[in-house]
Amino acid sequence: MRTKSAGPKLAMKFTPTVEEGKTLRLVPEVESIQADGSLGEVLRSGPVGDMVREKITKALLSALQRGTDRSLTLPPAVQDIAVIDHAQFEDEGDGRMALALGGQVTISPQQIQVLKEQLKDHLPAH
C-alpha cells in the first residue's frame, strides 16, 4: 500500500517598500519550508531555492505594479510629481489582501490650473 504525501510547501512573507518615492518593491522572507529529503535541502539552500523565491517575488510584484500604474490611477498633471510615502498590505477578510499606498503631491499654482482643466474634462456635467 502506498500513501500519497503532500507536495512541498513554501510559506513566504512579503513586505512592501517604496524606493525613491516612486518604485514599489517587495522584500521576501521565507517563513517555512515543508519538504522532505533532498528536495527540502535544495529548497532551503542553494541556487534552486533562491530561484524559486525570486520567481514567486517577481510574479507577485508584477501583479501589484499593474494595479498601481500611475497612468491609470492619477491625473496626467500629477503622475510625475506624486511621491509614495509608504506601502503596506491590509487584510480585507475572506483570505484577501490589499495593497495600501500613501503619498503626497506638491504642486504649483500653474499645475493646479492644469489639473483643474484635466479633471473638468473627465467629470460629468451637473
Contacts of 114 (CB under 8 A, 6+ apart): 77
Q: pTM of the full predicted structure?
A: 0.62
Tell me what the pLDDT averaged over the chain comes to. 82
Which of 15, 17, 27, 14 has the alpha carbon at shortest distance from 85? Answer: 17
**Strand 96-104 vs strand 83-93: parallel, antiparallel, or unpaired?**
antiparallel
DSSP state of 74: S
The string of pLDDT tens digits covering residues 106-118 is 888 888 888 888 8
Which of left, alpha, beta for 117 (phi over 0: left; psi -120 to 50: alpha)?
Answer: alpha
Q: Is the pLDDT of residue 124 over 70?
A: no
Do 82 and 20 meet the contact criterion of CB atoms below 8 Å apart? no
